[in-house]
Amino acid sequence: MTILAIGLAFLSAVSLAYGALLQHRGVSGLRASEGALRLRTLVRLFRSSHWVLGLLVMGAGIVANVIALSLAPVMVVQPVGAFSLVISILLGMFHRSLAVHRSIVITVILCVVGVAGFVTVSALVATTSPTRPAEAHLLAALALAFTVAGLIIILVVSHPRQLLLITGGGVLFAFVATNMHVVSSHIVDVGLAEGLASLPWSNLIALGASGLVGSWFVQSSYASGPPEMVIAGLTVIDPIVAVLLGALILGEAADSGVVSIVGMAAFGVLACASVVLLSRHHPDAVAAERRRSHKKYGDASGPPSIEEVSDRVIP
């Protein structure tokens, strides 16, 4: 079952990369201002064929990920999604004429090594057992607390950095994954009929709330920079936070030793550092940050010298 779950998680990663490319095109087509999108802009996205197609592609990936989460621990499933960064970079080269310099290649390699190492160590120590009610309730409460905090941030902070937006989205989607794991594994453990009759509603509500606000973060990040940065943030921050939640709350790392914990920490730091480095070397991310600073502080630096790569029509 674990091998099947990893395969489904990889399929989900492919869907995430292509869906992000399509949704970025849809958001860019609206000429939305950089930063948090307004609600009316979010509603207008449903009129974009590219955005809707991206939503459907991502929906298929979510289904695959849900099945994977019901078959294996969160600590095994979620980190596999990091490979969507490689796919996203390749799609950027073919569909957006993204110029991939050596610094970007090195950063992506570091990211993949970090997440792959994280996957390997977590898979070796991960264990699964029925979630206790106290654990499920604590997870739901934390998810709702972070959701409220995220909502406040996105409403209050003006011209947020793309890195802040993808971090918020990654954290909230990690809560989506762990709460989904609790709900789906409950149904698998007790059977469909009984599972639907005794759903852990607090986790289901937390899942929906964190998913909605997390999606707001992600869509806003499309308007604030390149889709590759969105994928980098989600595929690193999401799995690392999900693993921490699985280990600290759901007890999935109960059998791990000091060496395993140190290894996971080292690979996790490497993966997170690679996201920060990518934000400093990606040409679109650099240009977007210059525009954000110009709008926020009104400096006289003028338009950025590094232009955003063109978006060709996707065949």
| pLDDT tens per residue, range 189-213 | 777 777 777 788 899 999 999 999 9
Sign, CA dihedral 27-30-32-36, equals negative
302 within a domain of the structure (yes/no): no
- Name the E strands within 111-239: none
Domain for residue 200, yes or no? yes
* Mean of all residue pLDDT scores within the chain: 80
Number of compact structural domains in the chain: 1
Q: What is the pLDDT of residues 266-315, one digit of tens each?
A: 998 898 888 888 877 776 666 655 665 555 555 444 444 333 443 444 44
Q: Specify if 240 maps to a domain.
A: yes
Q: Which pair of tokens denotes residue 175?
A: 């809560």
Range of the structural domain that residue 34 is part of: 2-297
* Euclidean distance between CA atoms 177 and 238, whole angstroms: 9
128 within domain boundaries: yes
How many whole angstroms separate alpha carbon 125 and alpha carbon 141? Answer: 26
Are 41 and 32 in contact by the 8 Å Cβ rule? The answer is yes
Tell me what pLDDT residue 53 has: 94
Contact assessment for residue 295 and residue 135, using Cβ atoms and an 8 Å cutoff: no
Dihedral of alpha carbons 228, 244, 258, 77, sign: negative
Residue 308 in domain: no
Whole-model pTM? 0.78
In a domain, 104, yes or no: yes
Whole-angstrom CA distances from 17 to 23, 68, 115, 272 are 10, 18, 16, 19
DSSP assignment string, 55-113: HHHHHHHHHHHHHHHHHS-HHHHGGGGGGHHHHHHHHHHHHS-----HHHHHHHHHHHH
Whether 91 is covered by a domain: the verdict is yes
Q: What is the DSSP letter of 30?
A: T
Is there a domain that residue 9 lies in?
Answer: yes
Q: Provide the 8-state DSSP code for 309.
A: P
